Amino acid sequence: MMLEFYGTKLDSRLLIGTALYPSPRILSDAVNASGSKLVTVSVRREAARARSGQGFWEIIKQLDVCVLPNTAGCRTVKEAVTTAQMARELFETDWIKLEVIANDDTLQPEIFGLVEAARILNDDGFKVFPYMTEDLGVAEKLVAAGCEVLMPWGAPIGSGQGLANPLALRTMRAYFPDIPLVVDAGIGKPSHAARAMEMGYDAILLNTAIAKAGDPVKMARSFAMAIDAGRLAFEAGLMEPRDMASPSTPVAGTPFFKLGDAS
């Protein structure tokens, strides 16, 4: 089954950020190599670029992908809502990746402001993709506020730590079986992405691990392959771990011979 957000189907489960790339050409090549059909764009960064931002927007349009503007850098509800409204005008979309940041060192989501901003934006017709922690209580409030997608972090943004709390992520997947879940932030290696997909997550959103790689194009391709492998493994059905060994060749019915037995 294809990935689907708010009624829009995508044939890739890798979502890519557009910051930190060495050049626009490498950004384009990496997105194409990944097969991604959705990229995120920082509204505040592009607004600050003014005229130069138009060139960046032209590059994004040439990629022929869905655009998910984000409210990166916002620390209050008012900032986030205003930035989302700017994004709707700039990019002509009602999709928004909602970020309300609490702490400069961890870039952890400010959960109270996040829920309030999500409610305001959903009421205003936005389709909200909230960047959140793996807290179930927060997730329930976001769903009640109208969010049809949840985006729990794997680890702090840009840290490359992978899945810091896999047990909580597994619990969230089990608790919300019918809601698209995207691991957003902290993914540093293709193996991290594969692990999340094996848990049953629907997609991975990452930026730094590709953009800052020695070869972003090869890294984009490797993440695409890892995500496909992880999803396929989940759909196939992973074996349950065992406490003890279990022989692949059954012992029952196997003939045994004594040393020196000529028969």
Catalogue the active-site residues: 97
Question: Cα 144 to the chain's mean position, in Å?
Answer: 21
Cα 213 to Cα 234: distance, rounded to the nearest angstrom: 27
Q: Which residues pair with 4 in a beta bridge?
A: 9
CA-to-CA distance for 43 and 169, rounded, in angstroms?
Answer: 29
What is the DSSP secondary structure assignment for residue 238, as one 8-state letter? P
Considering only the C-alpha atoms of the chain, give the largest distance between any 2 of them, rounded to a whole number of Å: 90
Contacts of the segment 78-81: beta carbons below 8 A, 24+ positions apart: 80/113, 80/117, 81/117, 81/120, 81/121
From the DSSP assignment, how many helices (H) and strands (E) are in the chain? 10, 10
For residues 28 and 220, what is the distance between their CA atoms, to the nearest angstrom?
Answer: 11
Bridging pattern class, strands 3-5 and 8-10? antiparallel
Instruction: Please state, in angstroms and rounded to a whole number, the distance separating the CA atoms of residues 28 and 172.
Output: 34
